[in-house]
A and B are shown apart, each in its own frame.
Chain A
Amino acid sequence: EVQLVESGGGLVQPGRSLKLSCAASGFTFSNYYMAWVRQAPTKGLEWVASITNSGGSTYYRDSVKGRFTISRDNAKSTLYLQMDSLRSEDTATYYCTRGDAWGQGASVTVSS
Chain B
Amino acid sequence: ETVLTQSPTTTAASPGEKVTITCRASSSISYMHWFQQKSGASPKLWIYDTSKLASGVPNRFSGSGSGTSYSLIISSIESEDGAPYYCQQKSSEPPTFGSGTKLEIK
Query: Which chain A residues have a beta carbon within 8 Å of chain B's beta carbons?
Result: 35, 37, 44-47, 50, 59-61, 95, 99-105
B93 A45 Cβ-Cβ under 8 A: no
| Chain A residues whose C-beta falls within 8 Å of the C-beta of B98 in the assembled complex | 44
B97 A47 Cβ-Cβ under 8 A: yes
B58 interface residue (CB < 8 Å to A): no
User: Nearest chain B CB to A27's CB is how many angstroms away?
Assistant: 14
| Chain B residues whose C-beta falls within 8 Å of the C-beta of A103 in the assembled complex | 42
Query: Which chain B residues have a beta carbon within 8 Å of chain A's beta carbons?
Result: 33, 35, 37, 42-45, 48, 54, 84, 86, 88, 90, 93-100
B54 A100 Cβ-Cβ under 8 A: yes
User: Nearest chain B CB to A95's CB is how many angstroms away?
Assistant: 6
Given A100-B45, A100-B48, A103-B42, A50:B95 Cβ within 8 A: yes
| Chain A facing B: main interface SS | strand
A95 B94 Cβ-Cβ under 8 A: no
Closest partner residue, chain A, to B90 (CB atom): A99
User: Nearest chain B CB to A32's CB is how many angstroms away?
Assistant: 14
25 A-B contacts (beta carbon < 8 Å): A35-B95, A44-B84, A44-B86, A44-B97, A44-B98, A44-B99, A45-B37, A45-B43, A45-B86, A45-B88, A45-B100, A46-B97, A47-B94, A47-B95, A47-B96, A47-B97, A60-B94, A61-B94, A99-B33, A99-B45, A100-B45, A101-B45, A102-B42, A102-B44, A104-B42
